[in-house]
Amino acid sequence: MRKLRVLSITIFTILSIISLFYVFQLKFAFSLDQFFPEGDKELEFFKEFTKDFETDINFLLVAIERKEGVFEQSFLEDFHDFTLATRDVPYVKKANSLTMVSYPLKTPFAITTVPAIHIDQPDRYEKDKKRILEDDRFVNTLIDEDATALVVAIKTADTVGLEESAVLINAMNDLVEQYSFDDYHYLGPSYFQKEMVEMQMREVIVSSIVSGILVFFVMLWLFRKPWGIAISLSSIALGLLLFMGFMGVTGLELNVMAALYPVLMIIVGTSDVIHIMSKYIDELRKGKSKKEAITITIKEIGLATLLTSLTTAVGFATLMTSRIGPIKDFGLNAAVGVIIAYITVIFFTTAVLSMLKTDQLIKLGKGQAFWEKLMQWTYNYTKQNARKISIGSVLFLAFCLYGISLITTNYRIESNLPRGKKISLDFSYFEEAFAGFRPMEFAVFAQGDYKADDFKVLKEIDKLETHLSTFPSIRSINSITTIYKSINQMNGSNKRESYKLPDTESKYRRYKKMADKIPESNANVLMSKDQKKARINSRILDLGADEVQNLSGEIDHWISENIDSSVIKLRQTGTSFILDKNAEYVRQNLLEGLALAILIVAILMGMLFKNVKMVIISMIPNMLPLLVAGAILGYTGIELEAGIAIIFAVIFGIAVDDSIHFLSKYKLSRQKGLDMEEALHITFMETGKAICLTSVILFFGFLVMLFSIHPPSVTVGVLISVTLFSAVLADLLLLPVLIRKWMRD
């Protein structure tokens, strides 16, 4: 045993040193395309569509505020200077703002231009303001309705990675600080990328520290001996270190789910440690030698803990059926982490434990008597109130099922942004004052011999644009028709009512000659080079995935009834459209993953107990926490989205652990010749305490997520804590009733 101890401790020491090195090689990542559903036909179409045009997320908007109004000369001069300076910022391809916009003006001699804002002529500001605020092309796009903010619309490089985003935003911050603007706001994927990665790094550090402090106090309360505390904490910390080292060695990137990894590793490791140490101490108290005690512990609890680790890993691994990248990665990494925690406890913790006696590990006192009394009372209650427990379970089931029927998937981008941070405030500002973030695109396909800029095609596109403008939530509508409407307005003395398509085809032909002189790079943003495809781009407010989907369905229905399909065909696409499809896949993958997890766990239970009734008994209490989680979502109105959906796999994987420990002890007691009641009684007295302790740790462990600034993480933490509390109640109250009912002597 001494040689095995030395070998085990030496191996884990070496592994911990290697892991410590690779922890500093960990990489963080965030991008919107991470959340695209893999293998989706709409995604494949969008990728092909962007080959002819460009992506719809290569932008950065910078809103500059002047609360007294933007029409003030010194402010406009500074703003114009700032707009020009942004063009020199790294990864900026173009920049535009109202101070650089001009209206075309037709004169008897030539076509000239008139600036939208006469910066150096303050006496013309009122007239400029009136004209601009009546122009739908600019309001909610380059200026807000109250004229208290102007926007610099920046076109960035198509692919801006994490490092490039940091360089871009930092350079932009340095530039803004050179001016004395009242306030400024950003909106764009590169800004999201930088801020969300910083949030992820903060979340991992904070969750690790807070979880570590929590576990320290739990172990101090539980063992009250330096060696007991040291062994438990070192085992848990070692498991976390090895897991993070594994992530570093394999080069896996930490995404938005990363904050859950430290919490999961710490509480899973804590659960294993408590079961192992509790059993070892119980055997020592019975008079067994250290060698006998550790042998019995590994044989009895080691097997049960192996099964609980496998079932927990299975619960996480089912997330790999998801089409959403971050969820798949989380499922795989969490499953590996559970196995790492188990290996650490079985080989490292037991090696160190086998050197120590009871009085070195734990200080026994009133706490032990408390747990014995509590378990005795619980045992008696289940025996005397079986009917009440059964009726109560059925009524609670009905209550949960109704709550589940209220679940929605109305996912909103804003609900995933860090609380109280500038990125969240900026996002809200653009939602209220401008057109928001969500792109809404339509692909236009000219049919037959038509080209995308033919008169009849333009008329059909204009019909859809007119319909889209009736929705207050859809703003900043733009397409190839914009060019012809602007030319028509120019020929109509730039009057507001002249901003429309030409009335006759003869006018259109004259305007087309002018349109053909527009630089190709500008026109190709709205029409493909072969002139067979066009795009209608717009922005829609962050209404929620379900509401946007309903609105899209309404628009598709209108298109089918009002657009001439012999001239054009339309198809909705874009980043936001594809991201919203996640709501469908979340529901689908949730059911598929849970069904697979339940099947695999049932097979594992069958292999362990070799009894169909026992398998059914073991599964019933573990369905209750899933129903509780669904009911909470329904009654509280929390949207079921990608980040929230993982709770069901986590809950099932962890909740089944207590059932396995309870039933494993019951089975061992029956195999020793005890009758049903004696076996149940000893199971309560020996395993009940460990189940309660681990459940308390799980409850408070996941509540650590309350310190998170990421709203979905907070929701996940609270939901898992509450539902796992219901899991322990099901195991200690319902499980004994089922055993007495179906497993009579």
pLDDT at 558 over 90: yes
Please compute the mean of the pLDDT values over residues 355-368 and round it to a whole number: 68
| DSSP conformation class of 477 | E
pLDDT at 318: 79
> Measured between alpha carbons, how far is residue 646 from residues 262, 265, 490, 587, 721 in Å?
16, 16, 56, 11, 14
Helix (H), strand (E) counts: the chain:
27, 12
Higher pLDDT, 656 or 347: 347
pLDDT at 584: 67
pLDDT at residue 520 greater than cutoff 60: no
Q: Give 355's pLDDT tier (boundaries 50, 70, 90).
A: confident
Query: What average pLDDT score do residues 553-578 get?
Result: 90
Lowest mean pLDDT among 171-180, 352-361, 717-726: 352-361
| pLDDT on residue 526 | 82
374-388, 618-632, 651-665, range with greatest mean pLDDT: 374-388
Q: Which of 467-481, 538-552, 553-567 has the lowest mean pLDDT?
A: 538-552
Mean pLDDT value across the chain: 84
Asked whether the beta carbons of 679 and 736 are under 8 A apart, the reply is no
Residue 420: partners with Cβ closer than 8 Å, 6 or more residues away: 709
CA distance 543 to 410: 8
Q: Work out whether strand 149-156 and strand 92-96 pair parallel, antiparallel, or are unpaired.
A: antiparallel
pLDDT of residue 744: 65
Mean pLDDT, residues 674-687: 88
Does residue 45 have a pLDDT over 70? yes
| Mean pLDDT computed over 239-254 | 87
Q: How confident is the model at residue 172 (pLDDT cuts 50, 70, 90)?
A: very high
> What is residue 110's predicted lDDT score, i.e. its pLDDT?
59
- Which one, of 496, 506, 501, 509, lies nearest residue 460 by Cα? 501
Q: Which distant-in-sequence residues (6+ apart) come within 8 Å of 102 by Cβ?
A: 113, 114, 115, 116
**pLDDT at residue 587, as a whole number:** 67
Q: Inform me whether the pLDDT recorded for 393 exceeds 80.
A: yes
So what's the pLDDT on residue 415? 80
Residue whose token pair is 């109509």: 492
Sign, Cα dihedral of 622, 627, 628, 630? positive
Q: What does the pLDDT read at residue 84?
A: 94
> Which of 294, 285, 297 lies closest to 359, judged by CA?
285
Q: What is the set of domains in the chain, with CATH numbers?
A: 2-32+194-405+582-742 (1.20.1640.10), 58-187 (3.30.70), 429-579 (no CATH)
Q: Residue 232: what pLDDT? A: 84
Q: Sorting pLDDT into bands at 50, 70 and 90, what band is 150?
A: very high
Q: What is the mean pLDDT of residues 159-182?
A: 89
Percent of the chain topping pLDDT 70: 94
Segment 158-180 shows an average pLDDT of 88
The whole-number pLDDT of residue 583 equals 65
Q: Are 184 and 62 within 8 A, CB to CB? A: yes
Query: 366 pLDDT exceeds 70?
Result: no
Task: Using the CB atoms, write b or e for 642-680: b if 16+ within 10 Å.
Answer: bbbbbbbbbbbbbbbbbbbbbbbbbbbbbeeebebeebb
* Cβ atoms of residues 263 and 243 within 8 Å: no
Q: Which of 80-84, 159-163, 296-300, 720-724 has the highest mean pLDDT?
A: 80-84
pLDDT surpassing 80 at residue 528 = yes
pLDDT class for 523, splitting at 50, 70, 90? low
Residues in the chain: 745
Name residues whose C-beta falls within 8 Å of residue 368's C-beta, 6 or more positions apart in sequence.
none
Share above pLDDT 90 across residues of the chain, in percent, rounded to a whole number = 25
